[in-house]
């Protein structure tokens, strides 16, 4: 695992990235920094941490609890507009300790007994992630205030100068004794100059990207006259000075890189290996935290950046495209302003003519045309101030007849018959079927299985007789004057097409000789 992470900072960084080593950039960091930034008390936490950073810069690495409180109490009250108590300060400190942004250490020599509960015996120090985060916030604020005031042309000149200085130092190095005397100093100077070339190249790329971003932002937003003037000045500087400087400086830079990639490449690699060997022999406190890049890979990347069709040309083409779009937007705005100015000039000339007219003359036609609404006249008939227009013909409206709506439901026909519910209709049909299939003689019971089955519908009637005679104690069947009795014996009722029905033996009799109950 450590080997894969180390590859991320060497020449095989793309291979390490594909293996997932980039995930360790956050796995070993304190994610509670994000919780602090979104907290409601973020300002209080930042001011406490930054004051501890100020203590650290004053060589007080572990300030006491009371010293920190006395240093931040005034600014905390100014930020909140209310009194900043010790209890509130202690809550903030405990939260920072819980987030592992600071460490707390107890000074045992300050204790005066086991009953001593004073907090002035504690000392606090910043964690590494918190300190790095505060320094980053400082740099970002400084960039917001100062802005990007560097000239990219100076960076191109610096690259040429650093290449010459690196070549001069490499030529003065004795390859036979690389680590002795003045050779050690020259080796460090050569590698320092060479490392500065990489930093300057990154600065050139960053400033060109920033210029392209400002041009693209100008295209999609409204602008004032001062903003337009500033963008035009930047474009003028870029087109008249920077592009010429790129053409001349790139030739010198490419030639210097080509010479360094030739006979000086071996000496540069020797310097790199010698310095790394010295760092491995040195103590851990004197070692650099990051391994330097291989000179061969760095030369390859620099040549690809400055070469024709490389990243520098690509950035310049993007800026050129954005510049043409900005110029088109400003030109369209200028043309619109010219049209507005032409209309204003026409109005001024006409007003001057009106002023020179005699007092008894009124320009009625001009005033009517000037004050007329900007709408199309839709009256087809001619009219003026003397002749009246023919009045329009009255409209002929179609005769409207109100018709009765068509009913959705079918109208029921009444035959003066008593109303019968669906349940009563089903019982009447069942009663007719029973009288058709069975012959009842007084109080004698009739076996249900003796019914003649002509169709499947008869099976359904037999089941309905069983349901109405058994459920609810047979009250439904008693409504049509019949009673059902069920035995344990099983009987079979055969029908057409080989159909049959098995059920418990049932016998039915008629009540009250057919009279209604």
% pLDDT > 90, the chain: 11
Tokens of 314: 């690509």
pLDDT digits (tens, 9 = 90+) for 471-507: 888 888 888 888 888 888 888 888 887 888 888 888 8
Instruction: Say whether pLDDT at 394 is over 80.
Output: no
- Decide if pLDDT at 285 tops 50: no
User: Among 14-18, 100-104, 196-200, 243-247, which range has the highest average pLDDT?
Assistant: 100-104
Q: DSSP letters of 405-430? A: PPPSSPPPPP-SPPP--HHHHHHHHH
Whether pLDDT at 446 is above 70: yes
CA–CA gap between residue 315 and residue 489 (Å, rounded): 102
Q: Mean pLDDT score of the chain, rounded to an integer?
A: 79
109 phi/psi in degrees, rounded to 5: -70, -15
* Pairs from 149-157 (Cβ < 8 Å, separation ≥ 24): 150/203, 150/207, 152/203, 152/204, 152/207, 152/208, 152/242, 153/241, 153/242, 153/245, 155/200, 155/203, 155/204, 155/207, 156/204, 156/245, 156/246, 156/249, 156/253, 157/249
pLDDT digits (tens, 9 = 90+) for 175-192: 666 556 677 777 778 778
Residues 6+ apart with CB under 8 A from 231: 214, 215, 218, 223, 326, 330
pLDDT surpassing 90 at residue 47: yes
DSSP track, 14-52: HHHHHTTGGGHHHHTS-THHHHHHTSTTHHHHHHHHHHH
CB 254 within 8 A of CB 312: no
- Per-residue model confidence (pLDDT) at position 397: 66
pLDDT of residue 93: 92
Does this model's pTM top 0.75? My answer is no
In the chain, how many H helices and how many E strands? Answer: 19, 5
């Amino acid at each position: 695992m450590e080997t894969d992470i180390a590859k991320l900072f060497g020449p095989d960084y793309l291979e390490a990235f594909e293996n997932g080593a980039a995930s360790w950039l956050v796995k070993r960091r304190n994610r509670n920094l994000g919780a602090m930034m979104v907290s409601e008390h973020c300002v209080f936490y930042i001011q406490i941490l930054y004051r501890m950073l100020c203590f650290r810069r004053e060589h007080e690495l572990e300030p006491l609890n009371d010293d920190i409180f006395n240093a931040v109490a005034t600014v905390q009250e100014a930020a909140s507009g209310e009194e900043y108590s010790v209890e509130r300060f202690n809550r903030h400190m405990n939260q920072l300790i819980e987030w592992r942004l600071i460490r707390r250490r107890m000074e045992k020599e300050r204790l005066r007994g086991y009953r001593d509960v004073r907090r002035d015996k504690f000392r606090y120090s910043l964690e590494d992630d918190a300190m790095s985060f505060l320094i980053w916030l400082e740099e970002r604020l400084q960039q917001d205030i100062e802005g990007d005031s560097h000239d990219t042309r100076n960076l191109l000149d610096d690259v040429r100068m650093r290449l010459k200085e690196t070549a001069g130092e490499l030529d003065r190095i004795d390859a036979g004794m690389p680590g002795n005397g003045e050779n050690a100093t020259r080796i460090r100077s050569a590698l320092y100059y060479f490392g500065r070339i990489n930093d300057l190249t990154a600065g050139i790329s960053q400033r060109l990207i920033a210029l392209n971003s400002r041009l693209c932002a100008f295209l999609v937003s409204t602008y004032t006259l001062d903003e337009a003037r500033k963008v035009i000045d930047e474009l003028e500087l870029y087109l008249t000075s920077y592009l010429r400087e790129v053409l001349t400086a790139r030739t010198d830079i490419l030639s210097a890189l080509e010479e360094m990639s030739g006979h000086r490449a071996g000496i540069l690699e020797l310097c790199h290996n010698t310095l790394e060997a010295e760092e491995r022999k040195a103590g851990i406190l004197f070692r650099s935290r990051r391994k330097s890049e291989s000179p061969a890979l760095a030369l390859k990347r620099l040549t690809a950046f400055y070469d024709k069709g490389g990243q520098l040309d690509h950035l310049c083409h993007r800026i050129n495209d954005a510049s043409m779009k900005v110029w088109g937007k400003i030109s369209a705005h200028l043309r619109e302003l010219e049209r507005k100015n032409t209309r204003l000039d026409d109005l001024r000339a006409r007003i001057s003519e009106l002023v020179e007219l005699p007092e008894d003359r009124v320009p009625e036609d001009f005033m009517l045309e000037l004050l007329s609404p900007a709408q199309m006249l839709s009256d087809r008939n001619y009219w003026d101030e003397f002749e009246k227009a023919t009045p329009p013909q009255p409209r002929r409206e179609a005769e409207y007849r109100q018709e009765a709506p068509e009913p959705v439901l079918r109208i029921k026909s009444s035959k003066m018959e008593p109303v019968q519910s669906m349940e009563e209709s089903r019982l009447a049909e069942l009663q007719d079927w029973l009288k058709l299939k069975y012959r009842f003689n007084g109080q004698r019971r009739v076996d249900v299985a003796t019914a003649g089955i002509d169709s499947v519908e008869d099976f359904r009637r037999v089941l309905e007789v069983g349901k109405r005679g058994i459920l609810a104690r047979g009250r439904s069947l008693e409504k049509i004057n019949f009673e059902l009795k069920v035995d344990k014996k099983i009987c079979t009722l055969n029908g057409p097409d080989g159909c049959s029905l098995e059920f418990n033996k049932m016998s039915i009799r008629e009540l009250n000789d057919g009279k209604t109950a």
